[in-house]
Amino acid sequence: MLALLALAGVGFGLTILLTSLWSSPDQTVSVGGPFTLVDDSGKTVSDRDFRGKWMLVYFGYTHCPDACPTALSHIDNALDDLGPKGAASVVPLFVTVDPERDTPAVLHDYLSAFDVHIHGLSGSDDQIAAAETEYRVYAAKHPDPAGGYSMDHSSIIYVMNPQGQFVANFTHETTVDAMVAKLRALGA
Amino acid sequence: MKRLGMVAVCAAMFAAPAWAASVVVTSAFARATLPGSDTGVVYMTLESDTGDKLTGASTPVAVSAMMHKTSMAGMVMSMDMVSAIDLPAGQKVVLQPDQLHIMLEGLRHPLVKGTTIPLQLIFAKSPAETVTVPVAGFAAMTPGG
C-alpha cells in the first residue's frame, strides 16, 4: 500500500512535470536524446562521448545575470560536496540557448570561473535547436527596448543516467543539499 | 531678528534630508560578473514613507541600467523590462534574485567581488539618490552571499 502511494506520488510529480513540458502527457516519457554540439574547446562532441557518466544538463546563456549563475553555482557546489567520486562520475554540461553570442571561446572563458569543469556546449543554430527539441527545452529571443535581447528559456537541470536516460530534474531554485541528496540516492 | 533668521536657515538645512530623501535604500548589492560577461545585476530593498515610484537608474560603469522583472511560467523563465517600480508608503519593496532587479547592460569593466559601484536611482517624487553598491559573489542571493 505504501509502495503504491509512493508510486502514485511519483506519478503525480511526473504528471506535473509532463504537463508543464508537453501538451499531451499520454505520450511515452522521453527527455533528452542524441545531440551533436561543439564544446568550449571547439571540438565537435555528441551525447555518446559522455556515456558511462551521469550528465547534469542545463540550458542557459552567458548574458543571463539572474538564474543561470545561480544554477551553475549550485551545480558547482553540489559536485564539490559529492567529493572526488562524484566529481569523477558526474559531467555537468551547460548548453547555450544563445549560440549567436555564446561561441565556444565565450563559453570557455565564462565557465573558467567555476571550480568544477563544466563543459560549455555551443554549435550552429540547427544543432542547438535539435538539442533543445530533444530536451523539450523552450527558448526564444526576447527583444528589449534598448535594442538588445534576453532569452526566455526553461530553467531546468536534467539528470541523465550513465545510459543517457532522463531520471530526474532540478531547477535553479533547488538547494545544493537537495541536489546532493538526490544524486547520492541515485547512486552518482 | 538676524539671529532668528540664522536659526531658521539651520533648521531648514537639518530638516532637508528628512523630506528630500524619503526613499531609504538598504541591502543593496551587485553580483560579480563571470568572465567575458558584460551584463550585471543589482538587488536592493527600497522603502518610501510617503509612497513613490522608482522610475530609472544609471551608473557610469554601464551603458544602461534597466529595471527588469524575472518571471517563471511553469519552468520557463523570462525577463521583462518594467518602466517603474511602485513603492507603496511604508512598505519594503525587495529587489531580489528571480524577481525584480536592475540589469546593467554594456558594462565598461567587469564587476569584481569586494569592490563597489555607484548607482543613481531616479524617483517620481523624491530627488535622485546615488547609492554605493558593494559587489558580492557571482551567484550571491544576499549582500553577504
According to DSSP, residue B107 is labeled E
Residue B66 belongs to a domain: yes
Q: What is the pLDDT of residues B10-34, one digit of tens each?
A: 444 444 444 455 899 999 999 999 9
Residues of chain B positioned with their CB less than 8 A from the CB of A74: 139
| Inter-chain residue contact A65 with B75, CB threshold 8 Å | no
Task: Give chain B's domain count.
Answer: 1
Residue B91 belongs to a domain: yes
User: Taking a C-beta distance cutoff of 8 angstroms, is the pair A111, A69 a contact?
Assistant: no
Residues of chain B positioned with their CB less than 8 A from the CB of A57: none
Residue B143 belongs to a domain: no
| Three cell numbers, residue A132 | 533543445
pLDDT tens, chain A, 188 aa long = 344 444 444 333 443 444 344 433 434 468 999 999 999 999 999 999 999 999 999 999 999 888 899 999 999 999 999 988 887 899 999 999 999 999 999 999 999 999 999 999 999 999 999 999 999 999 999 887 777 888 988 889 999 999 999 999 998 889 999 999 999 999 98
Residue B16 belongs to a domain: no
What's the pLDDT score for residue A76? Answer: 95
Q: What angle do CA A92, A78, B102 make, to 5 degrees?
A: 85
Average pLDDT over residues B86-103: 95
Residues of chain A positioned with their CB less than 8 A from the CB of B105: 146, 148
Round to whole Å and give the CA distance between A29 and B6.
80
| Inter-chain residue contact A152 with B138, CB threshold 8 Å | no
Residue B7 has pLDDT above 70, yes or no: no
User: Taking a C-beta distance cutoff of 8 angstroms, is the pair A73, A66 a contact?
Assistant: no
CATH of the domain at B39: 2.60.40.1890
| Three cell numbers, residue A161 | 543516467
How many other C-beta atoms lie within 10 A of the C-beta of residue B124?
A: 14
| Inter-chain residue contact A113 with B41, CB threshold 8 Å | no
- CB-based contact, A112 to chain B, within 8 Å: yes
Helix (H) or strand (E) holding A108: helix A104-111
Q: What is the pLDDT of residues B69-88, one digit of tens each?
A: 988 887 788 888 899 999 99
| Inter-chain residue contact B139 with A144, CB threshold 8 Å | no
Residue B142 belongs to a domain: no
Average pLDDT score, chain B = 87
Task: Kindly provide the ipTM of the predicted complex, given to two decimals.
Answer: 0.75
How many other C-beta atoms lie within 10 A of the C-beta of residue B55?
A: 15
- pTM tops 0.90: no
Domain containing B120: what range? 23-136
User: Taking a C-beta distance cutoff of 8 angstroms, is the pair A114, A74 a contact?
Assistant: no
Q: What's chain B's Rg over C-alpha atoms?
A: 18
The CA-atom distances, in angstroms, between A170 and each of A94, A152, B33, B64 are 14, 18, 24, 33
| Three cell numbers, residue B72 | 517563471
Q: Domains of chain A by range and CATH? A: 1-26 (no CATH), 31-186 (3.40.30.10)
